Chains A and B, each alone.
Chain A
Amino acid sequence: MEQSGEFRIGSSREEVWRALNDPVVLAKCIDGCQSMEKLADDEFTAIVKAKIGPVSATFKASLKLTDLNPPESYSLNADVKGGPAGFGKGVADVTLIEDGDATVLRYGVSASVGGKLAQIGSRFIDAAARKMANDFFSAFQGELDPESVETAVDTVSADAGQSPPTAPAGQWKIWAVVFVALVIAFVLTI
């Protein structure tokens, strides 16, 4: 799975950089995040528990930053495990570009998923991941600058270009699993 996009965040590049490296901020932006721990300056772990109906899973993510070039760019390698729900892994290249008082965050992600996520969810991953990226950055923006949430600009664009299919009735559990896992597998990768 390949995806790219950009977000405009109404804070300075230094502030954005700091927040992206702050586990407390990141944890707040991910629904269901139980813990986020900074092991070293370039290493995090996170645990997110989610339970929807009969399906529950604990996703364990380990994240490692490479090619650090503060406050401009870095790469993030993620490895996420969700037991029977499957796993995700990938790398995200993140670039922060100054745009007046604001900052444009540009990302490109290359990720793969396995297990139940691949078996049932592969068709939806692009669309769902985009939505999750949106949600994450809205929350992230709110954390940095609560006043500006309403004006957050969504300029996300992806190469896939397909509109998300509508979930048929009764498919909500599958969707839910896919979404929750993607919060972890994808957003954490960014």
Chain B
Amino acid sequence: MSEATGIGASVKRREDLRFITGSGTYTDDMNQPGQAYAVFLRSPYARAKIGAIDSSEAMAIEGVLAVYTGQDTAADGLGDIPCGWLVKSKDGSDMVAAPHPPLAVTQTNYVGEPYGIVIAESVAVAKQAAEAVTTEFTELNAVVDVASAAQSEQIHEGVVDNLAYDWELGEKAATEAALASAAHVTELDIINNRLIPNAIEPRAAIGCHDRVADHFTLYTTSQNPHLERLILSAFVKIAPEHKLRIVSPDVGGGFGSKIFVYAEETAVIWASKKVGRPVKWTAERGESFLADAHGRDHVTHAELGLDADGRFVALKVRTTANLGAYLSTFGAAVPTYLYGTLMAGQYKTPNIYVEVQGVYTNTAPVDAYRGAGRPEATYVVERLVETAARELGKDPTDLRRMNMIQPGDFPYETPVALVYDTGDYEASLDKALEHSDYQGIDARRVEARERGKRRGIGFACYIEACGLAPSQLAIQLGAGVGLYESGEVRMHPTGSVTVFTGSHSHGQGHETTFAQVVSTKLGVPFEDVEIVHGDTGRVEFGLGTYGSRSLAVGGSALVMASEKIIAKARIIAAHMMETEADNVTFADGVFSSSNQQVTIQEVAFAAYVPADYPEDLEPGLSEKAFYDPENFTYPAGTHVAEVEIDETTGVVELVNFVAVDDFGHIVNPMIVDGQVHGGVAQGVGQALLEHGIYDENGQLLTGSFMDYCMPRADDLPDFTVDTTVTPCTHNPLGVKGCGEAGAIGSPAAVMNAITDALGVKDISMPATSEKVWRALRRE
């Protein structure tokens, strides 16, 4: 049993049967009796004063139930949607969070911002009614350009220079002094392109209100239903937590974009009570483009100082981060604590200083997107390192090796607030070089040249901090909540097990991985363990899935709960075998004394049918645990990209991609492979194809798949994915997290390969054929 389904086995994902047979239950698959449908009124302007709204014609249409606007939500006392992380500026002052009402009241601040909700008997009627609403807007000048946002018109009252915060980390004076005396300084101006998430399933919600119990239920596409309940309850004031249940059923991908509390879901649950009917909303793709939180969007100047031997002496980074029109749930933290803290990378750079200006613009809010801050940090560090190697005529892998933190250096405290617990960075680099046949690259370049192609190779030796997060540290740094995770293991009288986790699975495979963990720990068959997640009515508490935290934090909670089960079961088993608990051993689901054995299933039965039972012991066999990590986990690895560029057309072909990652121990290698594949595909998408573009008036020009290019299978080679293992030192599974690594390492690796092939210092992402064609002609 344990060979096939235990920890370390590539068990096929049990959830896939329903996903691949179309039997999943997504929010839009659900329907409630008496359900009505919502369509949102959205601002066509990037920045406009809202004048009179005339809904009389809309209300006259048969089947229209209500038209509510921001005036109505405000009149009902609905609170603003808060940012969950408070960042402080250099001078110690709090960031300036502009009020973010669920529906805009007096002014809209990005194209697509909802300012009203139309509710009708059908989607078609609601759409017709939305078109019949006339709204007088007075268009104002939009602030779109990130770099000049501080010098532009003020978007929000009280937000001077459109600046939410001016944040710093590290020692400025020491870093500048070290740069001044460095033998060589490599400088780069870097743009990290804006991305639009595009999960396959768009956001959706059904709000229900039970008038008799005055109880709300919101079915929605959330990566963290308990956090959504907390915010909707404590800040937006929908209802107290015991009167509000959030159910997040099957969710078709999130990538961060479904972490956040959004206006639409908030309006839907509120409106369900107003109209006295369940209200359903499913975003159309065009709405997802406009109103899902976007990702990345940084403008950065970075300098790396090296001594005469090539050792890094200082790194100085200045970034302007686009936060969009409002601070989304984690929007303030992503370009600061999830970015600046990663600037040491895998290297012993002694002096690091990072400053980040977070600016408001009249664009959709920007927040966490797969990797969240860490792809941006890796891009800065790894583009700089590769460029420095070229400028100094050194092999880029040798330069990295010379500067890497060595296995004997751990725990290693970086100059930017983190303590890496463990790692062996050269082991991953060595393996990646072997897989990518680095020795043979020169021959491959020559061969490609004969075919009219430029071949290039690029590296990224990334590190990430995930397994969010030690609660006290996170709260000190401004988090509004702790970042532990809860788990409950409920053993039934016949020995089968239901597991409740606060993490949420929306493609990650928790139902399989977590069952492997618990079945291995308890020694029960894999088939006897079922995982429940995504329902605040069934799971006690949780903080959700993001930051590659599910297994490292949520899985650890399940290990703790399982250990509590075993501890109690051991006492019952000892009683059954008429011996002391100390004399009882446990292995593979069997308790043994010197001459007897009982199975954990027999113990479970005894716990629920306590005929002959230890004195002073409660019946039942169900345990809960909250696991609060001691530290972040630090997955790290080397990604190698090899590209060929057609000299005539400028088309870039990714011909080879190697990812060697250290995720610590691995529970299900097949799922880990899949996570890396997906992450790499997204990172390659950022490097080659994807770019969210607003015009100078703040109109979204890339508002559909005609203009926003997602990666497809034929854009990608067959990846080589491998791992090295240094177990995490501080969680019981020794795991680190694998969900984001692919998207973190790959953009820098691909762009290093392209600039290598072209022989240019920099080219901005995405490296479209036009940009590359111009670069080939030195335009």
Q: Hey, which bits of chain A sit against chain B, CB under 8 A?
A: 54-58, 83-87, 112-116, 118-120, 122-123
Contact B131 A83, beta carbon cutoff 8 Å: yes
Which residues of B in the span 561-585 have a Cβ within 8 Å of any Cβ on A?
none
Contact B697 A56, beta carbon cutoff 8 Å: no
Residues in A neighbouring B700, C-beta threshold 8 A: 118-119
> Which of the residues A55, A57, A85, A114 comes within 8 Å of B699, measured between beta carbons?
A114
Contact A84 B290, beta carbon cutoff 8 Å: no
Residues in A neighbouring B695, C-beta threshold 8 A: 112, 118, 122
> Which of the residues B41, B46, B697, B699 comes within 8 Å of A84, measured between beta carbons?
B41
Contact A115 B131, beta carbon cutoff 8 Å: no
Name the residue of chain B whose CB is nearest to the CB of A174: B704
Sorted nearest first, the 10 A-B pairs with minimum C-beta distance are A115-B44, A119-B703, A118-B699, A114-B699, A114-B44, A86-B44, A83-B131, A122-B701, A120-B704, A119-B700
Contact B45 A84, beta carbon cutoff 8 Å: no
> Which of the residues B111, B134, B697, B707 comes within 8 Å of A83, measured between beta carbons?
B134
A48 nearest CB across to chain B (Å): 13
Chain A CB within 8 A of B124 CB = yes
B16-44 contact mask (Cβ, 8 Å, vs A): 1 or 0: 00000000000000000000000001101
Which residues of B in the span 45-64 have a Cβ within 8 Å of any Cβ on A?
45-46
Which residues of B in the span 283-298 have a Cβ within 8 Å of any Cβ on A?
286, 289-290
Contact B127 A54, beta carbon cutoff 8 Å: yes
Contact A119 B131, beta carbon cutoff 8 Å: no
Contact A119 B128, beta carbon cutoff 8 Å: no
Contact B704 A113, beta carbon cutoff 8 Å: no
Q: A58 to B700: give the CA distance in the assembly, Å.
A: 23
Residues in B neighbouring A114, C-beta threshold 8 A: 44-46, 111, 697, 699
Can you give 28 contacting A-B residue pairs, CB < 8 Å? A54-B124, A55-B131, A57-B131, A83-B134, A84-B42, A84-B44, A84-B127, A84-B130, A87-B44, A87-B45, A112-B697, A114-B111, A115-B45, A116-B286, A118-B695, A118-B700, A118-B701, A118-B703, A119-B111, A119-B286, A119-B701, A120-B286, A120-B703, A120-B704, A122-B695, A122-B699, A122-B701, A123-B707
Which residues of B in the span 257-315 have a Cβ within 8 Å of any Cβ on A?
286, 289-290
11 extra interchain contacts, Cβ-Cβ under 8 A, other than A83-B132, A83-B133, A116-B286?
A55-B131, A84-B44, A87-B45, A112-B695, A113-B699, A114-B44, A118-B700, A118-B701, A119-B290, A119-B703, A122-B699
Residues in B neighbouring A57, C-beta threshold 8 A: 131
Contact B131 A56, beta carbon cutoff 8 Å: yes
Residues in A neighbouring B132, C-beta threshold 8 A: 58, 83
B111 nearest CB across to chain A (Å): 7
Residues in A neighbouring B45, C-beta threshold 8 A: 87, 114-115
**Size category, B interface:** 20 to 34
Residues in B neighbouring A85, C-beta threshold 8 A: 131
A81 nearest CB across to chain B (Å): 8
Q: A119 to B290: give the CA distance in the assembly, Å.
A: 9
Chain A CB within 8 A of B706 CB = yes
Q: A122 to B694: give the CA distance in the assembly, Å.
A: 11
Contact B42 A119, beta carbon cutoff 8 Å: no
Residues in B neighbouring A87, C-beta threshold 8 A: 44-45
Q: A86 to B699: give the CA distance in the assembly, Å.
A: 11
B123 nearest CB across to chain A (Å): 9
Report if A122-B707 is in contact (Cβ < 8 Å); known contacts: A114-B111, A115-B44, A116-B44: yes
Q: A87 to B698: give the CA distance in the assembly, Å.
A: 13
Name the residue of chain B whose CB is nearest to the CB of A60: B134
Q: Hey, which bits of chain B sit against chain A, CB under 8 A?
A: 41-42, 44-46, 111, 124, 127-128, 130-135, 286, 289-290, 695, 697, 699-701, 703-704, 706-707
Q: A122 to B704: give the CA distance in the assembly, Å.
A: 11
Residues in A neighbouring B135, C-beta threshold 8 A: 83
Name the residue of chain B whose CB is nearest to the CB of A79: B139
Name the residue of chain A whose CB is nearest to the CB of B694: A118
A115 nearest CB across to chain B (Å): 3
* Most-contacted residue by chain A among B44, B133, B700 (CB, 10 A): B44
Q: A115 to B48: give the CA distance in the assembly, Å.
A: 13
* Most-contacted residue by chain B among A54, A55, A119, A123 (CB, 10 A): A119
Q: A83 to B58: give the CA distance in the assembly, Å.
A: 12
Name the residue of chain A whose CB is nearest to the CB of B700: A119
> Which of the residues A56, A115, A116, A122 comes within 8 Å of B128, measured between beta carbons?
A56
Contact A119 B699, beta carbon cutoff 8 Å: yes
Q: A86 to B707: give the CA distance in the assembly, Å.
A: 18
Q: A44 to B697: give the CA distance in the assembly, Å.
A: 26
B561 nearest CB across to chain A (Å): 48
Residues in B neighbouring A119, C-beta threshold 8 A: 111, 286, 289-290, 699-701, 703-704
Q: A57 to B134: give the CA distance in the assembly, Å.
A: 11
Q: A109 to B276: give the CA distance in the assembly, Å.
A: 51
B182 nearest CB across to chain A (Å): 47
Residues in B neighbouring A86, C-beta threshold 8 A: 44
Residues in B neighbouring A54, C-beta threshold 8 A: 124, 127-128
Residues in B neighbouring A56, C-beta threshold 8 A: 128, 131
Name the residue of chain B whose CB is nearest to the CB of A57: B131
Q: A83 to B132: give the CA distance in the assembly, Å.
A: 8
B22 nearest CB across to chain A (Å): 21
Name the residue of chain B whose CB is nearest to the CB of A85: B131
* Most-contacted residue by chain A among B45, B128, B290, B704 (CB, 10 A): B704
A68 nearest CB across to chain B (Å): 26
B347 nearest CB across to chain A (Å): 43
Q: A9 to B706: give the CA distance in the assembly, Å.
A: 38
Q: A55 to B42: give the CA distance in the assembly, Å.
A: 16
Name the residue of chain B whose CB is nearest to the CB of A87: B44
Q: A85 to B131: give the CA distance in the assembly, Å.
A: 8
Q: A120 to B707: give the CA distance in the assembly, Å.
A: 8
B485 nearest CB across to chain A (Å): 39
Residues in A neighbouring B128, C-beta threshold 8 A: 54, 56
Q: A119 to B124: give the CA distance in the assembly, Å.
A: 21
* Most-contacted residue by chain A among B128, B134, B703 (CB, 10 A): B703
B52 nearest CB across to chain A (Å): 13
Q: A115 to B286: give the CA distance in the assembly, Å.
A: 11
A101 nearest CB across to chain B (Å): 44
Q: A118 to B111: give the CA distance in the assembly, Å.
A: 10
Name the residue of chain B whose CB is nearest to the CB of A56: B131
B245 nearest CB across to chain A (Å): 33
A39 nearest CB across to chain B (Å): 18
Name the residue of chain A whose CB is nearest to the CB of B699: A118
* Most-contacted residue by chain A among B46, B290, B699, B701 (CB, 10 A): B699
